[in-house]
Structure 1
Amino acid sequence: MRRRAFILAAPVVLAGCSILPDRPNVPVRRYALGPRRPSTLEAPRGAPVLLQRRMRAVPGLQDLGLRRARPDGAYEFLPYEEWIASPADLADAALRAWLQASGRFSAVVQAGTRADADLVLESQLTVLEAVPHAGEARAAIAAVLMREERLSSRIIGTLEATGSAPLAANASPPQQAQALEAALGRAFADLEARLPAGR
């Protein structure tokens, strides 16, 4: 008799326990980051080969979340709003395609290739943030351009490229992601303009 009472009472005890989370299941939205050059130009004969080393990122820009600056100067990452990969990896691939389309180089290759490169570009993503209270999204890249010589690389110049795009104060996360992509594209255009012409 006691055993039967225990069995009947068990569902009541289990009903009070739940393994389901208290918070609703909110799907994560993911965004691409791949600004494209408006037009593609053909490289002249004899144009140099550029080796683009993998882009790095400053601390705080390795996270997948969309980054937003607050009026007090602090930063926050938007919950459930992410890039499809790390911003630096996405920017690296997009920059390589952008510079190839610029017509300045006969080829833009990655590290590990057997191609003989004339120039080497090292870059770092330093800014990629939405600033709604300032009405803009911002992007910046620091880079070093070197010439490959027989036994070493000689620095030609250091480059600082920036870009911005308008952003409404009440912009939605998708609008912020779109503005960040536009700002990065303008930083690419600024970087391209700062590259020395010719070999």
Structure 2
Amino acid sequence: MSLNRRHLLLAAPLALAGCGDLLAKQPYTARTDWPIAPEPGIAAAGSRRGVVLVRGIQAGPALGDRGLITLQADGSIHRGYYNRWAVPPAQAVTASLIAWLQASGEFSAVVGEGSALSPALIVEGTLDTLLADPTRHVARAALTLVVAKPVGIGERPLAQRRLTATAPLAGPTAPDLVAAQRAALAGVLRQAVAMVESDR
């Protein structure tokens, strides 16, 4: 065996041991799953008119993943690995929209897909935006919503709008990002309820 080869073989365990020390010194970072659904901030009116069917809200570009999205100063998107929503955002918005419409008290029932009840209105849409923008100190949410009325075996569209909302962003920490995005989403949901109520 050559002298150089012997030196390499003897040095390998020392190098590996050094790597192990480096890895051992790095702190463990656990993933955090954050709740996304804001509580309904509306009082029940109690008129109870008709059934509303809410179809599953679709996820827009970049929103199929659970990682918190932050808009960087250069316009690029950073997706959180250690900070994620507890469920996919579009799924959470579907459940939240049902909860907010139920809480309004305006409808006899608000149901999701698969219900046997015959709806008076059908609501569907796409979650276009849900992100924090630290450069401008805001969070943004946007939802394109369509309200339709069943007619025979088809549907007649009543309204289509892109609902947008912003909320102030207090700081760069994960709790700040979460709170601001939830507040922006609440603003969009409030508009969505008003839109469905006006088209009943």
TM class, shorter-length: 0.7 to 0.9
Look up the match of 1:194.
Answer: 195
SS at match of 1:109: strand
User: How many angstroms apart in 2 are the aligned matches of 1:196 and 1:32?
Assistant: 27
User: How many angstroms apart in 2 are the aligned matches of 1:48 and 1:159?
Assistant: 22
For structure 2, which runs of at least 5 residues remain unmatched after alignment?
A: 1-11
How much does 1:195 deviate? 2.9
User: How many angstroms apart in 1 are the aligned matches of 2:161 and 2:33?
Assistant: 31
TM-score (norm 2): 0.84
- Count of residue pairs brought into register by the alignment: 188
**8 Å Cα contact 1:56/1:124 also seen in 2:** yes
How much does 1:197 deviate? 2.7
- Stretches of 4+ aligned residues off by more than 4 angstroms: 13-21
Look up the match of 2:184.
Answer: 183
Look up the match of 1:89.
Answer: 91
Report the identity percentage. 31
**8 Å Cα contact 2:159/2:199 also seen in 1:** no
Instruction: Give the residue type in structure 1 aligned to 2:167.
Output: A
Instruction: Give the residue type in structure 2 aligned to 1:90.
Output: A
Look up the match of 1:160.
Answer: 162
User: How many angstroms apart in 2 are the aligned matches of 1:182 and 1:31?
Assistant: 14
SS at match of 2:176: helix
Counterparts of 1:15-30 in structure 2, within 5 Å, are 22=23, 24-30=27-33
**8 Å Cα contact 2:158/2:199 also seen in 1:** no
For structure 1, which runs of at least 5 residues remain unmatched after alignment?
A: 1-12
* RMSD, aligned α-carbons: 2.4
**8 Å Cα contact 1:140/1:160 also seen in 2:** yes
Counterparts of 1:44-193 in structure 2, within 5 Å, are 44-45=47-48, 47-168=49-170, 170-193=171-194
